[in-house]
């Protein structure tokens, strides 16, 4: 099963008040195993960057000024995500910005039936616990020491690891991947070489039974043990 774990960075909290998406990062999973395929892009928001938002992700108006518009990369992004489920942390936020950008260029929004919210999964599995991405990384022993500021691709990579743990851990992903490979009839079956029996005369096996002398020594040793458990 193919899934896309993604994260966005924005100019603020609400696309309805003019905030825009400035970065998106996507990680591909197949049967809960990262494939190594990813999608990452920055976008020129065509507006200023509030200081509060820049403090979170470090993306300035100057840095984004020469980046492509969302409309210029929309087809590439939509091709990458396809029709697969989309996993995000507090997914309503990320879906809201993604669909707002699609609406601005007269494209169909992504159906929310594809939405998988890791906050909801974590709340069900760990009721009453902290549910931030940092807190979940700490809970599952995921290294986030390189996360100085928020970044869409980095956060998607961390979230992909968290998502696998929320779904049952890394081992289940390996098992599903093995099952998928075993049942994939589209791939040619490789037959390994059969080892031939060695040529030449056959040698009788060496005797490994104890000799009478060894058995007598063993009986003498056991007799010298006081209060043996087997007695």
Bridge partners (DSSP) of residue 92 are none
Question: Which is the catalytic residue, given 57, 150, 208, 218?
Answer: 150
Residue 197: which residues within 8 A CB-CB, separation 6 or more?
Answer: none
Task: Please indicate whether residue 150 is annotated as part of the active site.
Answer: yes
- Give the separation between CA 162 and CA 136, rounded to whole angstroms: 7
- Give the separation between CA 216 and CA 155, rounded to whole angstroms: 71
- Give the separation between CA 53 and CA 10, rounded to whole angstroms: 7
Residue 43: which residues within 8 A CB-CB, separation 6 or more?
Answer: 20, 21, 22, 23, 24, 64, 67, 68, 69, 70, 73, 101
- Give the separation between CA 202 and CA 196, rounded to whole angstroms: 14
| 3-state DSSP assignment of residue 41 | strand
- Is residue 5 within 8 A of residue 163, CB to CB? The reply is yes
- Residues noted as catalytic: 150
């Amino acid at each position: 099963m193919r899934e896309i774990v993604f994260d966005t960075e924005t100019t603020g909290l609400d696309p309805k008040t003019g905030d825009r998406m400035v970065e998106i990062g996507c990680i591909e999973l197949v049967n809960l195993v990262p494939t190594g395929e990813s999608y990452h892009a920055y976008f020129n928001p065509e507006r200023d960057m509030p200081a509060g938002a820049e403090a979170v992700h470090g993306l300035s108006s100057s840095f984004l000024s020469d980046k492509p518009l969302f409309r210029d990369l929309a087809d590439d992004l939509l091709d990458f995500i396809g029709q697969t489920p989309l996993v995000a942390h507090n997914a309503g936020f990320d879906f809201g910005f993604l669909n707002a950008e699609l609406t601005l260029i007269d494209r169909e929004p992504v159906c929310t039936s594809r939405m998988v919210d890791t906050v909801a999964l974590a709340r069900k599995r760990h009721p009453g616990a902290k549910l931030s991405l940092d807190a979940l990384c700490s809970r599952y022993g995921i290294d986030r020491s390189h996360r100085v500021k928020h970044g869409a691709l980095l956060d998607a990579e961390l979230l992909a690891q968290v998502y696998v743990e929320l779904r049952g851990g890394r081992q289940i992903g390996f098992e599903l991947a093995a099952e998928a490979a075993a049942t994939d009839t589209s791939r040619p079956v490789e037959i390994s070489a059969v080892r031939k029996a060695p040529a030449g005369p056959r040698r009788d096996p060496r005797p490994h039974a104890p000799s009478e002398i060894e058995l007598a020594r063993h009986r003498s040793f056991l007799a010298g043990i006081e209060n043996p458990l087997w007695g």
